[in-house]
Amino acid sequence: MADIVLFHHAQGLTAGVVAFADTLRSAGHTVHTPDLYQGQTFADLDSGIGYARETGFDVIGERGLAAADAVGGELVYAGFSLGGMPAQELAQTRPGARAALLFHSCVPVTEFGDRWPEDVPVQVHGMEADPLFAEPGGDLDAARALVASTQQAELFLYPGDRHLFADSSLAAYDQQATRLLTDRSLQFLAALDR
C-alpha cells in the first residue's frame, strides 16, 4: 500500500478532495491531505486563484514542500490542478518519490529539472476540452511531451470540458469520468507494490 500526499486545488481543501482521499484510504492507502490554504475554501475557482495570487504562488508551493517534509519517507505525490504543481515538483526532485498522480494539471518537466526521473511512474488525467487544461501551449501539451519523453508516463483524457471534474463537492463534478479516473488511479497504485 502507498503513502500518499494529496494536494488540493485552488478552491481549497474541499469536501470533494477529502472524499477522494477517503476513497483511496478505503483501498488501504495512507493519504495525507495538507491544507495549503490554512482552513480557507472558496465557492468558485476565480476566488481561489485570487487568494493564491494574493498569498503568493511561491508561498503556496513552499507550504506544499513543507507538508511533504513533515510526512517524510517514500511517498506518492498527487495533486488536483494547483496542487499538481507541488506534487510534480516533489515527484521530480525528491529522493524516495515513488510515483505521481496529476489531476487536471501538468507543467513542462523543465520547470523542475531537465527530465522526468526514470524510476518514478506518473499518470496525468484531464478532460480533453477543459479550457484550463487543454489550452494551446498549456497542461495538455506538457502532458503529451512528458509521455513522449519517458515510458513511465501515462496520459488519460476524458470527454468533456470541465476542469475540477473529480471533486464531488463542486458543480464541475462528473461522476462517470471520476469513477474511471479513480479506477485507473487505484490500479496504478496497486501496481507499485508488484
Distances (CA, A) of 44 to 10, 52, 69, 163: 9, 13, 30, 12
Inform me whether the pLDDT recorded for 104 exceeds 80. Answer: yes
User: What's the pLDDT at 135?
Assistant: 92
Domain locations in the chain?
3-191
> What is the rounded average pLDDT of the residues 78-84?
97
CA dist 131 and 150 (Å) reads: 26
> Residues 117, 119, 123, CA angle at the centre, nearest 5°?
80
Residue 91 pLDDT > 80: yes
How far is 126 from 71, CA to CA, in rounded Å?
A: 27
Q: Average pLDDT of 109-115?
A: 94
Instruction: Give the pLDDT confidence score for residue 193 in this predicted structure.
Output: 81
Task: Write out pLDDT tens, residues 134-175.
Answer: 999 999 999 999 999 999 999 999 999 999 999 999 999 999
Would you tell me how many other CB atoms lie within 10 Å of the CB of residue 16? Answer: 21
Instruction: Find where cell 478505503 sits.
Output: 26
- SS3 sequence of 80-95: EHHHHHHHHHHHHHCC
pLDDT for 194 equals 73
User: What digits encode the pLDDT tens for the residues 45-78?
Assistant: 999 999 999 999 999 999 999 999 999 899 999 9
Taking alpha carbons only, the member of 78, 75, 71 closest to residue 94 is: 75
pLDDT band at 31 (very low <50, low <70, confident <90, very high): very high
What CATH code is assigned to 3-191? 3.40.50.1820
Distance of alpha carbon 152 from alpha carbon 192, whole angstroms: 12
- What whole-number distance in Å separates Cα of residue 106 and Cα of residue 80? 10
**Neighbouring-strand partners of residue 75:** 97
Work out the number of other CB atoms within 10 angstroms of the CB of residue 137: 8
Beta pairing partners, 12 = 9
In angstroms, rounded to a whole number, what is the distance separating the alpha carbons of residues 146 and 17? 25
Give dist(CA 35, CA 32) in Å, integer. 10
